[in-house]
Amino acid sequence: MSKEKIRYGLIGLGGICMAHEWGYREKTDRMQITAVCDINAPLAESRAKTYQAKAYTNYQQLIEDPNVDVVDITLPHTLHYQVAKYALEHKKHVIMEKPLTIKPEEGLDLIQIGKNSGVKFTVAENTRFVKAYLEAEKLIQQGKLGEPRFIRTFISGSEVYRLKITDNWKGRLDGTGGGAILDAGAHSLYLLKWLVGEIDEVVAYGTKFVDVSQVEDGGIVTGRAKNGAFFSTEFSFIVEAPWNERLEYHGSEGSIIIDQLNNPPAIFYKGGRDIKGTPLEVEYEPLLWKIKSITDGVKDFVDAIWEDRPPKVDPMDAYYAVKIIEKAYESASSIQPVKI
């Protein structure tokens, strides 16, 4: 006997939601969008027509809709906790954009509510699905890099236009809860936890180029992992170039350098004499790599519900990233190392 399709409700219909929808178009055999919600009523009505779904402007009403099994939340960061909590308490499966929350204790609360409600809960952390990082994980697990010594990440792109609009949520503390360290750090610190392990201490510094913005548009979080490796994670939202992520993983036996704007984007070096290196099996797709990782993430959650298995992104790892971010902001306010 075939299963009934999983019924999805989308809350927040901005640009990132479109990337989620592209993923869902590949899963119409297992799911369907039955409801959408946005405070912009014409937008909600328009998108609802696309799916022959019901349109809402009130998120509580969508969550209470009996024809919704799963809620996909793509809202400003400061709204994550209240909306996800309402959905989990109503026993809806939840996938939510990163960061998990702006306060680590709120993230733990959501995770516990999800467990108590017996539903699946994850964060749409696309880092887990970036092809280059998956290839790096294989080499690390095979021991080809040896012991980790130094890891560096850099996330860059331009948010200058949105940061200059004073009523846009991106540049307001009441919309984001923080700037580049929170927004981009959610990715990089999740990546560190995944590929390197837990962190021992951090030192952080934030800076602001766009004066009218309330949040930092650049920052550095550096420190030491518990296994002894040093790391530096860097973020800039004032770079006028295509959005990019860079990872340098330097171990005792070799290194991997990943840069999505380079061709090839990922190279493995076996040592100091290996001038050419070995390109990893990663396609050069400077404008598509991020979208593909986002769509792969939302597709995984559909499959996790359908197959009744855990999603690949454990929300506890997303919580850990927020925990480190909180310590980074504590350090940035004093420019002193902070123990985790």
- Output the CA–CA distances (angstroms, integers) from residue 333 to 103, 175, 204, 207, 325, in the order listed: 17, 20, 8, 11, 12
Q: What is the pLDDT of residues 23-46, one digit of tens each?
A: 999 999 999 999 999 999 999 999
Sorted by where each begins, the domain ranges of the chain are 6-124, 128-292+321-339
Give residue 336's pLDDT band: very low, low, confident or very high (50, 70, 90).
low
Question: pTM for the full model?
Answer: 0.94
pLDDT of residue 339: 76
Q: What is the pLDDT of residues 104-162, one digit of tens each?
A: 999 999 999 999 999 999 999 999 999 999 999 999 999 999 999 999 999 999 999 99
Q: Which CATH architecture has domain 128-292+321-339?
A: 2-Layer Sandwich (3.30)
Locate 123 and state its tokens.
Answer: 């964060």
Q: 73 - beta bridge partners?
A: 11, 96
Measured distance CA(25)–CA(10) in Å, rounded: 14
Locate 319 and state its tokens.
Answer: 């919580």
Give residue 334's pLDDT band: very low, low, confident or very high (50, 70, 90).
confident
pLDDT of residue 1: 34
- 6-124: CATH topology is Rossmann fold (3.40.50)
